[in-house]
Amino acid sequence: MSAVEDIIKRILALRPNLTRQAVERLIDEERAKAAGLLTEEAAAHLVASNLGLDGAGERIEAMLRIGDLTSGLSDVSLTGRVIHVFPARTFERRDGREGKVLRMLLGDSSGSVAVVFWDEKADQVSASKITPGKIVRILHGYTRERRGEVEINVGGRGQIYLEPMDAVEGDFPGVESFFKPPSEIYQPGTVNLVGVVVDKFPVSTFNRQDGSEGRVSRIVLEEGGGRINLVLWDDRVDDMADVEPGTRIRVVGGNARERNDRSLEVHTFWGTVIEVLEVGVRPVEPVSHWTKLANLRDGMRSVNVAARVTDFGSERQFTRRNGSTGRVASVLLEDETGTVRLSLWDGDVDLIKDLEEGTVVAVENGYTRMGMGAVGLNVGQSGRIQLNPEGVEVQAPRIEDKLVGLQDLREGQSNIAVRGTVLDAPGVREVETARGPTLVASFRIDDNTGEARVSVWRDLVKQVEGLTPGARILIENCHVREPFDGLMQISSGMFTKIVVEKE
């Protein structure tokens, strides 16, 4: 008895609802789909698999979930939905022979994984013209780790079967569910991303260590209430050259990386595929414009802020760890809900010369982080800053709206205003700081709701040295520190102002 005949008989024994003619027709169809690359015996095995059996008539155990995969498994069988099939490519082995490799992304309800087919298996997948959305079964693959992630390899022993008949369509998520908007990219690693282009940055060139010239560009994608930077390298720069804002794209196999500011951006590489889905569209779930300053929290990214300039500091130069010199300047912004310190870095420092009190500053795609004891706002490489943008209005707060009663002081409050009566003459002393010795003046104030201890530093010391008990003062843009001797501490900062309202 031939091997093919034996497989047919076992199929008929376990599937009595099928006729011999039906089984033979299924075998012929599989051979036709493979463009002649399958033998009749291999096609018979394929039909058996599609029916949920192996060639010996035993049920196939392909219930392993993708989320349970680990590196080093020698016999992996599972079923999943095809997310993407990358084009096959050839390469030269060390012995001079030509090899072929093809990658496929496969997913189930527990996650996704790259499946790598080698040589004749790559030919078989190419000939079968498998498209995204199809359900396939992988038998006898093996796993290994590549770039920190597990992938399945299918060699001579492995098999792939298209649309196994015992697979239930509803058990596998649709293709679109494997593509995440920017708001759902939470950690580094391989990602599949979908979003609308809302901004593009110019192409930059650089020289690599081998002397070749490289190119890099960035586009900003928005969807799901979030934004993320997509970094394009070399050939991907050309792929996106004609893509304009308002284009929805899908990124297959990007690499999410953490920046120094702890935000994420997605990088392309030679294997990344970018597909244009729609043009002339807007994000279904855009980023909310604008975030009020009172709602800023540490660690926010893709944040948009519009506020007025209330004060700004001078430029300061510093040396980075790599020995290069940087520039930084701080600007105090306010809206009707609060204030925040905006840090301008390097080239953005030049904006200082165009600032004056009341200038409206719009920061798009910025990020926040703690600094100087309070949440600060930063622009970053993927952000953009505009001065007095058309159509953007910011309501200026009244001083009464900024005032905090002394009984309501809480540790960690920043850039608030307090008003009170001086209880004792300021005492001045010299203290040692990281910048060297400096002067600090301390005294107590009262506002009929409570008392607080005030400490003012450096240039402000001269303003308070002559104060006498009974003087009434207004302190703007100050910070609240931990209690000392039972009293909350009010401390001056970069933008603190003291107004003597009554001698």
pLDDT of 177 higher than 70: yes
d(CA 486, CA 463): 26
| pLDDT given for residue 37 in this prediction | 63
Amino acid at 286: P
CATH class held by domain 68-175: mainly beta
84-132: pLDDT as tens digits? 999 888 988 888 889 899 999 999 998 899 999 998 888 888 888 889 9
pLDDT of 61 higher than 60: no
- Evaluate whether 64 touches 137 at the Cβ level (below 8 Å): no
CA-based end-to-end distance of the chain: 113
| CA angle (140 as vertex; 137, 146 as ends), nearest 5 | 90
At 498, list the tokens: 């003291």
d(CA 142, CA 154): 7
| pLDDT given for residue 53 in this prediction | 63
pLDDT of 45 higher than 90: no
pLDDT of 60 higher than 50: no
Helices 20-33 & 40-50, crossing angle to 10 degrees?
110
Amino acid at 310: T
d(CA 351, CA 343): 11
Between 484 and 47, where is the model more confident?
484
| pLDDT given for residue 55 in this prediction | 46
| Stretch among 55-64, 380-389, 399-408 having the lowest mean pLDDT | 55-64
| Stretch among 30-39, 149-158, 326-335, 366-375 having the lowest mean pLDDT | 30-39
Of the candidates 239, 199, 376, 356, the residue with the CA atom closest to the CA atom of residue 305:
376
Phi, psi of 176 (to 5 degrees): -60, -25
What is the rounded average pLDDT of the residues 437-457?
A: 93
At 360, list the tokens: 């409206």
| pLDDT given for residue 406 in this prediction | 93
318-341: pLDDT as tens digits? 888 888 888 999 999 998 888 899
Whether the model clears a pTM of 0.85, i.e. scores above it, the answer is: no
- Evaluate whether 138 touches 118 at the Cβ level (below 8 Å): no
Torsion sign (Cα): 392, 398, 401, 403: positive
| Stretch among 142-151, 158-167, 383-392, 425-434 having the lowest mean pLDDT | 158-167
Q: Is the CATH number 2.40.50.140 carried by domain 179-278?
A: yes
| pLDDT given for residue 360 in this prediction | 93
What is the rounded average pLDDT of the residues 284-303?
A: 82
Q: Where are the alpha helices (DSSP H) in 75-128?
A: 120-128
Share of the chain above pLDDT 90, in %: 39
| pLDDT given for residue 39 in this prediction | 75
At the topology level, CATH places domain 293-387 in: OB fold (Dihydrolipoamide Acetyltransferase, E2P) (2.40.50)
Q: What is the dihedral of CA 307, 312, 314, 320, to 10 degrees?
A: -40
d(CA 320, CA 323): 5
Share of the chain above pLDDT 70, in %: 94
Q: Average pLDDT of the chain?
A: 86
| CA angle (56 as vertex; 52, 61 as ends), nearest 5 | 40
At 309, list the tokens: 């300039």
| Stretch among 60-64, 164-168, 362-366, 456-460 having the lowest mean pLDDT | 60-64
| pLDDT given for residue 372 in this prediction | 72
d(CA 63, CA 56): 19
Kindly state the DSSP code that residue 180 receives in the 8-state scheme.
B
Provide the 3-class DSSP secondary structure of residue 204: strand
The Cα-based distances of 230 to 190, 368, 456 in angstroms read: 13, 20, 45
pLDDT of 459 higher than 70: yes
Between 419 and 53, where is the model more confident?
419
Query: Can you spell out the DSSP letters for 325-394?
Result: EEEEEEEEEEETTEEEEEEEEGGGGGGGGG--TT-EEEEEEEEEEEETTEEEEE--TT-EEEES-TT---
CATH class held by domain 399-502: mainly beta
b/e per residue 373-408 (b: at least 16 CB within 10 A): ebbbbbbbebbebeeeeeeeebeebeeeebebebee
* Residue with the two structure tokens 């093919």: 4
Distance of CA 397 to the CA centre of its chain: 34
At 427, list the tokens: 């005492």
Amino acid at 249: I
d(CA 182, CA 248): 13
| pLDDT given for residue 58 in this prediction | 43
Is-cis flag, bond preceding 457, omega within 30? no
d(CA 412, CA 489): 10
Domains of the chain, by residue range, sit at 3-50, 68-175, 179-278, 293-387, 399-502
| pLDDT given for residue 1 in this prediction | 57
